[in-house]
Amino acid sequence: MPILPISIIIRKPQKQEEESLFEIMQSLFPNSRVKHKRGDIYLVAEIDGKLAGFCHYRMRKLLSRALDEIDSAGMQTTLLKVRALNPASNLYVKFGFFEKYSSETLLLVRKRPS
């Protein structure tokens, strides 16, 4: 069977799409304590002219700002506990944390950069 070319575009959502994104987030994560805030960054994936997915970027900005404050305060070690299956743990590793497991909880440790 031949493979058809797919056109994938990553872009910021258009104003008329934003409300739909918030509704999708609420339906996917009804118990989440994270709520939409003005200034949050979203990207959408469009395949052949139709929305196919989205990404929410507040966490990266918030984490970066928090770690800057921690480093400025001179703290030597930062600990972060998350569920072991939390996919955000990959983001934390990119910010310099390393993993230590403890049952169902993942303990992430970060040493202050020199």
The DSSP string of 74-98 is: T-SEEEEEEETT-TTHHHHHHTT-E
What ranges in the chain are assigned the alpha helix state H?
Answer: 15-28, 58-72, 89-94
From the CB of residue 95, how many other CB atoms can be counted at a distance below 10 Å? 15
Predicted TM-score of the model (pTM):
0.48
- pLDDT tens string 17-58: 877 777 777 777 777 766 666 667 777 888 788 877 777 666
State the pLDDT confidence band at 66, using cuts at 50, 70 and 90: confident
Question: Within a 13 Å sphere around the CA of 66, how many CA atoms are in the beta-carbon half?
Answer: 12
